[in-house]
Structure 1
């Protein structure tokens, strides 16, 4: 039995994994898919002080409190920032990092460095006098809502989304722990409309592809689960 810890991206919640969790559990594995501070069942905790460090603390605390080891830590989208930072703090608890169509930062970078258009969202929030950034809007197909185009799926996904605080995009990762750098890493790219900010992957790190939009856990949960099970 392996332990999978699934970390959702910006604006999402632990509910985004609802179609993946049962498939991994049915294969005999332990699966955790928490909502980060300010999201899902913790939406009441959202505030201007919430940032990347808050999210990293959420995941590190869960790993320690549950005494989890040999964990396959999966980060979707923005959560690539989160899992990279978690690995710096508790590398001994992790067996594998999976960047799922995710940001892959270098030391000292923030989300703006990885995807510069993020600054536009922050500027818009500043003009509105708020620290809150609402979810990205639905676009015409094939972009849809985070790559989801089925009307029923879009309607469900909307119910799971919430605002993101500006600070989470501004805080920077601090990397450099040799033990973290030694953790095995795999990248899964959703190739139906590649997102801005995707960077070349080192030749030593496998890259798998899914022919779908960004929120593959909604659009291709079976195929995604099959890939994740290869890491068990």
Structure 2
């Protein structure tokens, strides 16, 4: 007989599992819904002293009371934090951990980092924030639940019940770091992904998909490689963030299958080179490089100040990743190629380590640009910014208010709005909105034909918004290219597209006025080009 411990997310208690528990019980399972201290029917204790450790002890206490030799412990949303910590302390009692539409927090992470409600995050980050409202976060109103996750499948009366029966969340539970010793390494895990999108609007949140998880694994970054462990399985539920209310029977079926070891597994060749360490698609010579802090300059063979292009890497990238992005072959390759064409190439480590880190990364990019523009070898009035992958969100500031020295924005396989499931991204970073203010700023966009549907949708929305605002965009398509094609796909199409994009950016940098460019028919001379550049130039004229 399988025994389940069900731990619900913020504001809620054991009551939320009633229907799912009934179906599990009818299937012969032993079920133990848990209400954490200060929540649900246990909201009466003074909550100012309640923190994550309190809830860890709640889970450990229940695990110790049960006779079942192995338990399947389910953590929904925030609850995965106390669940993981409890499993770390009682690893021999746990048969499987289920992440129910929850993150994959590591040692030192706080639950606040994945709170999708931006207002709550900002308030709790203030010095006096955790003490507001007596150390509690007020229960969302019925029309506010979508700020905490997709409410797909929840009728109005259910949302009203959520607000009526929920309890304020003790703020200490969200700001206290998770501490793990590593004892839970190797425990089987299942990720149940709720895929239904939320309501339209910047504050709505939808779910991660298995396809998105697979694309993250293919990046080769260590924090995602764990998803390819044979002990990790995946299920999708086509519903919102509260499946125990919107699809209780379907959730019960998935939990039973998870306990039996079923589910999708992500496979990856352990000997395959991570995509971010693969060589650049163009064979370019070494160039002189100068390092100042987090900024590297690749210098051309030229006298006098030259235009520059700043390459903005994607992410998030864990802080302990080595080499850091500015030393990845992809970005050094782009920078060396730019320098070989008479343009100062700039790489920068901007420090995007989490989805909540975009504001800090934006500050670091702005500081890097100031440093570059102040260099006497750089023409500070002719700068281009080139964004890659999830670094595309950082283009928002520059599209919203383009400075006079910004001659061009380029983007390769960019993320231009937070995809479903990207909780914690500040609402300021929405290029799909900012592009409406771009005016005559030239934009060069390189797309991968085999891009994930979630990222491709953000690009489609961006182009639609640009068209509505009269913003012209030069588009380069690599029809058989994957995300990261300039390192992942060593094909003639990839090489032509990369060279064409550089050619377009270079032409805008050499223009006398920002409003002039190839698509205006200005007849500008891009300077000396080789055969590959001429072919690329013809390709780039396809608008």
Q: What TM-score, normalized to structure 2?
A: 0.40
Alignment CA distance shift 1:135-1:123 (3 Å): farther
Does the CA-based 8 Å contact 1:19-1:217 persist in structure 2? Answer: yes
User: Is it true that 1:190 corresponds to 2:182 in the alignment?
Assistant: no
Does the CA-based 8 Å contact 1:38-1:44 persist in structure 2? Answer: yes
Given candidates 221, 235, 239, the residue that maps to 1:208 is 235
1:63 alignment counterpart: 63
C-alpha distance in 1, partners of 2:69/2:102? 23
Task: After superposing the two structures, state which structure 1 stretch, 106-115 or 82-91, moved more.
Answer: 106-115
Does the CA-based 8 Å contact 1:137-1:145 persist in structure 2? Answer: no
Deviations 1:67-100 (A, max 9, x none): 4431000000101111111111001100000000
Deviations 1:34-56 (A, max 9, x none): 21101122111241110111011
Report deviation, 1:111.
1.2
2:54 alignment counterpart: 54
Task: After superposing the two structures, state which structure 1 stretch, 148-157 or 38-47, moved more.
Answer: 148-157
Unmatched 5+ stretches in structure 1: none
C-alpha distance in 1, partners of 2:148/2:179? 31
Report deviation, 1:182.
1.2
Alignment CA distance shift 1:27-1:149 (3 Å): closer
Task: After superposing the two structures, state which structure 1 stretch, 65-74 or 182-191, moved more.
Answer: 65-74
Does the CA-based 8 Å contact 1:72-1:98 persist in structure 2? Answer: yes
Does the CA-based 8 Å contact 1:145-1:154 persist in structure 2? Answer: no
Pick 1 or 2: higher relative contact order, CA cutoff 8 A, min separation 6: 1
C-alpha distance in 2, partners of 1:105/1:177? 13
Deviations 1:165-220 (A, max 9, x none): 11101111112324x11110000111112748968551222221111110011000
Given candidates 134, 147, 156, the residue that maps to 1:130 is 134
Does the CA-based 8 Å contact 1:5-1:31 persist in structure 2? Answer: yes
Unmatched 5+ stretches in structure 2: 199-204, 217-223, 261-543
Alignment CA distance shift 1:26-1:121 (3 Å): farther
1:164 alignment counterpart: 169
Q: How many residues align?
A: 230
- Equivalent residues in 2 for 1:89-100, closer than 5 Å: 89-100=89-100
- Equivalent residues in 2 for 1:32-181, closer than 5 Å: 32-115=32-115, 117=118, 118-122=120-124, 126=129, 128=132, 130-139=134-143, 143=146, 146=149, 147=151, 149-178=154-183, 180-181=184-185
C-alpha distance in 2, partners of 1:23/1:144? 29
Greater C-alpha radius of gyration = 2
Report deviation, 1:225.
0.6
Does the CA-based 8 Å contact 2:141-2:163 persist in structure 1? Answer: no
Structure 1 residue matching 2:4: 3-state secondary structure? strand
Task: After superposing the two structures, state which structure 1 stretch, 29-38 or 157-166, moved more.
Answer: 157-166
Alignment CA distance shift 1:46-1:220 (3 Å): farther
Does the CA-based 8 Å contact 1:138-1:144 persist in structure 2? Answer: no
Report deviation, 1:139.
3.5
Q: What TM-score, normalized to structure 1?
A: 0.89
C-alpha distance in 2, partners of 1:96/1:121? 35
Does the CA-based 8 Å contact 2:136-2:168 persist in structure 1? Answer: yes
